[in-house]
């Protein structure tokens, strides 16, 4: 008899645990899916995908049900051990909500999400209060929608209580709304008990409501799926005569020049790029980006302006800003001249239309791939759970951007359509595979000796970045070696896809009548200078020295140009090569003719504060601006001493003594840049600051 009672009780516990945990998890997952779609809408963009919505909800469901069943089994075992099986049947319909809150509590610790922690505690308080009220009044009705209220608390309260930069509404409004949700969740516990209505049944209501909620939670992902845009060639604003060359600009995101074998790197990372250069391109050995972040640097390429002039850059803890309406872009100029314009960008975060990069394009595609790696905020912990699960499955699941293979395939499909227009075309292509997580295909990772552990990029790498940049420790040689191996493998993969793209263009004879530009927006640091990453780190050679190769129509044989050139020079260079009038510029210069004397030309750089880095260490606080002139770097603040010294030392050996005239010209350029940025903290000319700074760098004894 006892065995029969035990089996019946165990079966009931298991069934109730599955139903209870399943309902609670599905409600939470559907609410989180809806809200994770709302968050990016506040920024006029969406990372949602149907695959992500379904998989995260199923993962939370499986996790919570498993914990609920395990908890139920544990309770039953305790009853057996205490000889309580023969007593009244155990009812524990709150175990699902408790399991969900327990998962949320653990995730709040891992993700350092205080709002999620508070919501988890509130759910436990709600469950305890529900149990007490039910025992005191015998009112089972109080429990009927407890799972819904608990799951809603966990989803909505952290969403409302996040910082203003994520929400987009005042903090008081968010906190007030969160308090209102909490009151509504607890209110059913304190309302008077109602007498049951004879013959009334609503047993179907919760299952139907749950099914509708799940479908509604998946709909945003379905509606937000990005499709490849169609090329719609509009009528030319002006007659296309005279025939102008096509323009093809390819940017390799996060690629520093000194890791390319074409620039003398010891590893063979760019054989295809070298082969293309030998066919008739010009390699610029001293080319520099204007900033250490994609947004600012690409905007300089597109406009010929410095970041403080075009306005697209990071602004500390405030939201990043896009191109100013007054900043004309290369695509807009070429489109106005009769070009068909098309852009394909893998960096969907910073090259998206919301920053103005689609201006002047007939076709612009900055989609993300169908994302499976936590596009939602971390307080919706289902995305993080899925990220971790996929990370254990291998690094190939960690793409948050379209691969170089996908971008190349799309470009090769697009070029024949551009040619069919009968007009010159401008094609912009951005590849992002050298950016973290630097996951090249397995063949490249193995060839370069990468430590092939997927979980590294999920947990270990973020911790490494935090520890190194905060100054808590220095990077080990093994860690640095693996980072560099991953980076080099990614560059080798980029080179292979770049070679495939260039071969396709040559095969279709597109290259014969085209200006082809290959460059990068910034580099990456690997800990030697006490920093890992790039954005907001400061003005360091590894971040600003980038590759630049240009092939003009009719070029024959490889050439090297040793002038110090800037990314802003591409704008006037391309316009001049296309026979278009140049706009006056105080900084940008056309790279033609090659014989121009630029020995005393100042190059300007800007690094903008990253709030995340600034919180780690004071050395990252504030913006930094610097000028490179005649091989000497002079900065307004927070440069890394070791890197700057080695950079300028190499320049000194090539000649160029620092004179007072150079100092005055450098600070004139810096003052002009600071005025453009509306900054009042520049160093006045009568101050001793410049000399002190030069002494610290070893220029002046």
- H helices present in 138-170, as ranges: 146-160, 164-167
DSSP β-ladder status, 624-629 and 603-607: antiparallel
**Are residues 189 and 129 in contact, defined by beta-carbon separation less than 8 angstroms?**
yes
Task: Please report, in angstroms and rounded to a whole number, the separation of the first and last CA atoms in the chain.
Answer: 98
According to the model, what pLDDT value does residue 675 have? Answer: 60
Rounded CA separation 342/365 (Å): 8
pLDDT above 60 (res 89): no
**pLDDT-derived band at 657, boundaries 50, 70, 90:** low
**pLDDT-derived band at 18, boundaries 50, 70, 90:** confident
According to the model, what pLDDT value does residue 212 have? Answer: 79
According to the model, what pLDDT value does residue 278 have? Answer: 94
According to the model, what pLDDT value does residue 209 have? Answer: 77
The tens digit of pLDDT for each residue in 596-652 reads: 666 667 888 888 887 777 777 877 777 777 888 777 777 766 534 333 333 343 333
According to the model, what pLDDT value does residue 270 have? Answer: 96
pLDDT above 70 (res 288): yes
According to the model, what pLDDT value does residue 206 have? Answer: 72
According to the model, what pLDDT value does residue 372 have? Answer: 56
Tally of CB atoms within 10 A around 636:
24
Which of the residue ranges 545-549, 628-632, 661-665 would you say has the lowest mean pLDDT?
Answer: 661-665
| Full DSSP string of 399-466 | -SS--HHHHHHHHHHHHHHHHHTTS-EEEEEEE-TTSTT----HHHHHHTT----GGGGTTHHHHHHH
According to the model, what pLDDT value does residue 517 have? Answer: 97
According to the model, what pLDDT value does residue 688 have? Answer: 41
According to the model, what pLDDT value does residue 183 have? Answer: 79
The tens digit of pLDDT for each residue in 187-233 reads: 777 766 655 555 444 566 777 777 777 777 776 666 655 666 767 76
Q: Which among 624, 651, 666 is positioned nearest to 539, based on CA atoms?
A: 624
Mean pLDDT, rounded, for 42-68: 71
Mean pLDDT, rounded, for 135-139: 59
The tens digit of pLDDT for each residue in 453-476 reads: 655 665 677 788 888 888 888 888
Q: How far is CA 134 from CA 92, 142, 150, 347, 476, in A?
A: 12, 7, 16, 54, 58
According to the model, what pLDDT value does residue 570 have? Answer: 96
pLDDT above 90 (res 51): no
Question: Higher pLDDT residue, 2 or 355?
Answer: 355
Which of the listed ranges 44-48, 519-523, 577-581 does the model predict with the highest average pLDDT? 519-523
* Residues 6 or more apart in contact with residue 497 via CB below 8 angstroms: 404, 405, 407, 408, 431
Question: Higher pLDDT residue, 436 or 395?
Answer: 436
**pLDDT-derived band at 541, boundaries 50, 70, 90:** confident
Mean pLDDT, rounded, for 342-367: 89
The tens digit of pLDDT for each residue in 401-428 reads: 888 998 999 999 999 999 988 899 999 9
According to the model, what pLDDT value does residue 597 have? Answer: 62
DSSP state of 362: S
According to the model, what pLDDT value does residue 670 have? Answer: 65
According to the model, what pLDDT value does residue 371 have? Answer: 58
**pLDDT-derived band at 302, boundaries 50, 70, 90:** very high
According to the model, what pLDDT value does residue 696 have? Answer: 44
Coil, helix or strand at residue 490: helix
Question: Higher pLDDT residue, 64 or 665?
Answer: 64
pLDDT above 50 (res 97): yes
Q: Using CA of residue 66, residue 67, residue 68, residue 72, what is the dihedral sign?
A: positive
According to the model, what pLDDT value does residue 505 have? Answer: 92
According to the model, what pLDDT value does residue 495 have? Answer: 97
Rounded CA separation 366/370 (Å): 13
According to the model, what pLDDT value does residue 594 have? Answer: 67
According to the model, what pLDDT value does residue 171 have? Answer: 66
Count Cβ atoms within 10 A of the Cβ of residue 452 and give its class: 0-12 exposed, 13-18 middle, 19 or more buried. Answer: middle
Query: pLDDT over 90 for what percent of the chain?
Result: 23
According to the model, what pLDDT value does residue 361 have? Answer: 93
Rounded CA separation 632/602 (Å): 10
Has this prediction a pTM greater than 0.95?
A: no
Q: Which among 46, 20, 233 is positioned nearest to 144, based on CA atoms?
A: 20
Rounded CA separation 74/452 (Å): 38
Mean pLDDT, rounded, for 228-244: 66
Mean of the per-residue pLDDT values of the chain: 76
Domains of the chain: 2-191+204-224 (no CATH), 246-367+402-622 (3.40.720.10), 623-701 (no CATH)
Which of the residue ranges 142-151, 371-380, 544-553 would you say has the lowest mean pLDDT?
Answer: 371-380
**Are residues 498 and 459 in contact, defined by beta-carbon separation less than 8 angstroms?**
no
Question: Higher pLDDT residue, 175 or 521?
Answer: 521
Query: pLDDT over 70 for what percent of the chain?
Result: 70
Which of the listed ranges 85-94, 156-165, 175-184, 403-412 does the model predict with the highest average pLDDT? 403-412
């Amino acid at each position: 008899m006892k065995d029969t009672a035990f089996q019946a009780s165990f079966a009931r516990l298991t069934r109730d645990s599955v139903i209870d945990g399943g309902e609670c998890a599905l409600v939470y997952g559907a609410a989180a899916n809806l809200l994770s779609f709302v968050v990016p809408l506040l920024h006029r963009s969406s990372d949602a995908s149907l695959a992500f919505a379904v998989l995260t909800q199923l993962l939370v469901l499986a996790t919570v049900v498993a914990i609920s069943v395990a908890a139920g089994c544990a309770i039953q075992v305790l009853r057996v051990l205490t000889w309580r099986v023969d007593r009244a049947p155990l009812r524990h319909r709150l175990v699902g909500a408790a399991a969900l809150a327990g998962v949320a509590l653990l995730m709040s610790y891992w993700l350092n999400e205080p709002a999620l922690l508070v919501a988890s505690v509130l759910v436990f308080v709600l469950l305890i209060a529900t149990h007490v009220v039910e025992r005191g009044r015998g009112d089972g009705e109080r429990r009927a929608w407890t799972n819904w209220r608990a799951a809603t608390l966990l989803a909505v309260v952290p969403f409302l209580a996040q910082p203003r930069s994520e929400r987009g509404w005042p903090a008081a409004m968010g906190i007030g709304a969160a308090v209102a949700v909490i009151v509504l969740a607890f209110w059913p516990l304190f309302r008077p008990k109602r007498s049951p209505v004879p013959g009334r049944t609503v047993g179907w209501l919760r299952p139907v409501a749950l099914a509708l909620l799940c479908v509604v939670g998946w709909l945003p992902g379905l509606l937000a799926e990005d499709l490849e845009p169609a090329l719609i060639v509009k009528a030319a604003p002006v007659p296309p005569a005279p025939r102008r060359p096509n323009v093809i600009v390819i940017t390799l995101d996060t690629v520093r020049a000194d890791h390319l074998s074409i620039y003398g790197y010891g590893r063979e990372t760019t054989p295809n790029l070298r082969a293309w250069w030998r066919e008739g391109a010009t390699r610029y050995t001293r080319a520099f980006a204007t900033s250490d972040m994609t947004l600012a640097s690409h905007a300089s390429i597109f406009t010929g302006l410095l970041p403080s002039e075009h306005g697209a850059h990071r602004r500390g803890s405030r939201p990043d800003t896009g191109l100013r309406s007054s900043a004309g872009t290369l695509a807009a100029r070429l489109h106005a001249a009769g070009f068909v314009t098309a852009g394909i960008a893998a960096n969907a975060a910073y090259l998206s239309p919301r920053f103005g990069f689609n201006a002047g394009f007939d076709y612009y595609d900055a989609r993300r791939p169908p994302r499976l790696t936590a596009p939602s905020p971390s307080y919706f912990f289902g995305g993080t759970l899925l990220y971790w699960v996929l990370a254990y499955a291998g690094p190939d699941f960690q793409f948050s951007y379209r691969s170089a293979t996908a971008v190349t395939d799309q470009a090769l499909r697009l070029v024949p359509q551009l040619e069919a227009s009968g007009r010159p075309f401008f094609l912009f292509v951005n590849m992002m595979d050298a950016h973290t997580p630097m996951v090249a295909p397995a063949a490249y990772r193995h060839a370069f000796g990468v430590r092939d552990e997927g979980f590294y990029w999920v947990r270990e790498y973020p911790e490494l970045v935090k520890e190194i940049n905060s100054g808590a420790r220095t990077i080990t040689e093994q860690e640095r070696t693996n980072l560099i191996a991953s980076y080099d493998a990614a560059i080798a993969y980029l080179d292979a896809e770049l070679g495939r793209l260039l071969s396709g263009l040559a095969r279709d004879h597109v290259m014969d009548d085209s200006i082809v530009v290959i460059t990068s927006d910034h580099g990456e640091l690997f800990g030697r200078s006490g920093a890992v990453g790039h954005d907001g780190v400061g003005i360091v050679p590894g971040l600003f020295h980038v590759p630049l190769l240009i092939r003009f129509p009719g070029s024959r044989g490889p050439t090297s140009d040793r002038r110090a050139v800037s990314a802003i020079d591409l704008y006037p260079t391309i316009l001049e090569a296309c026979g278009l009038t140049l706009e006056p510029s105080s900084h940008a210069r056309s790279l033609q003719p090659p014989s121009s004397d630029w020995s005393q030309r100042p190059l300007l750089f800007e690094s903008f504060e990253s709030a995340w880095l600034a919180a780690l260490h004071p050395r990252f606080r504030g913006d930094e601006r610097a000028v490179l002139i005649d091989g000497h770097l002079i900065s307004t603040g927070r440069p890394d001493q070791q890197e700057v010294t080695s950079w300028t030392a190499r320049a000194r050996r090539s000649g160029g003594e620092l004179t007072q005239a150079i100092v005055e010209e450098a600070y004139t350029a810096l003052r002009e840049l600071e005025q453009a940025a509306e900054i009042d903290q520049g160093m006045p000319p009568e101050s001793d600051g410049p000399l002190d700074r030069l002494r610290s760098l070893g220029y002046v004894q």
